[in-house]
Amino acid sequence: MNPRHRPYRSVLYIPGSNTRALEKARTLPVDAIIFDLEDAVAADGKRAARETLAAALAEDGYGPRMRIVRINGLDTPWGRDDAAAVREMRPDAVLLPKVGAPSDVDALAEITGELPIWAMMETPRGMLNAAAIAAHPAMAGFVMGTNDLAKDLGTRFRADREPLLTALGLCLLAARAEGLVIVDGVYNAFKDDAGLDAECRQGRDMGFDGKTLIHPAQVAIANAAFAPSAEEVDLARRQIAAFEEVEAQGKGVAVVDGRIVENLHVATARETLAKAEAIEALQTE
């Protein structure tokens, strides 16, 4: 699979201390896992969680799922030891919480070396420095931390997320300018399927690659929302065919379903097909 088309529809947090959840994740149809050493683990369980997680990753069995480890901040009592341990665990990426500036990423890269770094985007300072953080050479992905952001901003939780839209948009702009993956924040009410579905669709329409999740029951909804639908795949195929036909006649504009199709729309159509193929490939692995 071309890494550029790797799906990130569902990115599930798993507390690094929860052996049952670590086991269960080997069977869940998620695109990526965030093994958490930060907020999902109580202070007195941090060391044990690091060891539990190291053992789970050594045993592996996570198949094609991308493996990301979220460490504690480097300004906490656990962060530097987490970073050193993660270097040995050899996941696909390390996730740094509360990134405020590129210097935070430098500090982690000094410990984790060549390991790709993802950033939790969840502080007002991080929002204002999003472009510079995204441009850091070790940076590979952004994860929105909408709970911490709402806390720091003093915003209320609203179904339409209007108070957070500026921040979400800023991070999207920064990520896309640098070709990074970017996944949306979690939906806390994990038994509210309709609310999750609406929030997934909002994030998808904004341009996010997928959604971070906290419970297995959320996986199917995110996978469906962030995958191209059968109608979208069909339209993409028809757009490509129509454009190739007019192109052969020396023209640059086709019309499909009453809408113009130019080369830029064909590029989007090809991306849609590539994404659908990558998802299919993942399902057969």
Ligand X SMILES: CC(C)(COP(=O)(O)OP(=O)(O)OC[C@H]1O[C@@H](n2cnc3c(N)ncnc32)[C@H](O)[C@@H]1OP(=O)(O)O)[C@@H](O)C(=O)NCCC(=O)NCCSC(=O)C[C@H](O)C(=O)O
- Give the residue ranges of the annotated binding site for substrate: 70, 122
On whether the CB atoms of residues 85 and 54 are closer than 8 A, the answer is yes
**Binding letters toward Mg ion, positions 146-185, x by CB under 5 A:** --x-------------------------------------
H or E segment and range at residue 181: strand 181-184
**Residue 202 touches which member of ligand X, Mg ion, none, C-beta under 5-8 Å by kind:** none
Binding-site positions: 70, 122, 148
Nearer to ligand X, 122 or 235 (CB): 122
Candidates 111, 181, 85, 100; CA nearest to 139 is 181
Question: Which residues have C-beta within 8 Å of that of residue 132, sequence separation ≥ 6?
Answer: 101, 102
Distance CA 257, CA 254 (A): 10
Nearer to Mg ion, 122 or 209 (CB): 122
Nearer to ligand X, 185 or 203 (CB): 185
Binding-site positions for Mg(2+): 122, 148
Looking only at the bridges linking them, the beta strands covering 210-213 and 139-144 are unpaired
What's the chain's Rg over C-alpha atoms? 20
Distance CA 106, CA 50 (A): 22
For residue 73, the minimal CB distance to Mg ion (Å) is 10
Distance CA 184, CA 168 (A): 8
Candidates 218, 215, 227, 257; CA nearest to 239 is 257
**Residue 201 touches which member of Mg ion, ligand X, none, C-beta under 5-8 Å by kind:** none
Give the chain's length.
Answer: 285
**Residue 186 touches which member of Mg ion, ligand X, none, C-beta under 5-8 Å by kind:** ligand X
**Residue 184 touches which member of ligand X, Mg ion, none, C-beta under 5-8 Å by kind:** none
CB atoms within 10 A of CB 255: 10
For residue 279, the minimal CB distance to ligand X (Å) is 21
Please tell me whether residue 209 binds Mg ion under the rule CB under 5 A.
no
**Residue 36 touches which member of ligand X, Mg ion, none, C-beta under 5-8 Å by kind:** ligand X
Question: In the set 16, 141, 145, 210, which binds Mg ion (CB under 5 A)?
Answer: 145
For residue 172, the minimal CB distance to ligand X (Å) is 16
Question: How big is the site for Mg ion, counted in residues (CB under 5 A)?
Answer: 3
Which of these segments, 56-64, 138-146, 168-176, 178-186, binds Mg ion (CB under 5 A)? 138-146
Distance CA 222, CA 225 (A): 5
Q: 3-class SS at 256?
A: strand
∠ Cα 226 231 235 (to 5°): 110
For residue 284, the minimal CB distance to ligand X (Å) is 23
Nearer to Mg ion, 39 or 271 (CB): 39
Nearer to Mg ion, 31 or 122 (CB): 122
Q: Enumerate binding residues for ligand X (CB under 6 A).
A: 12-15, 20-21, 24-25, 36, 39-40, 120, 122, 145-148, 185-186, 190, 214-216
Nearer to ligand X, 39 or 232 (CB): 39
The sign one gets for the Cα dihedral 174, 177, 178, 184 is positive
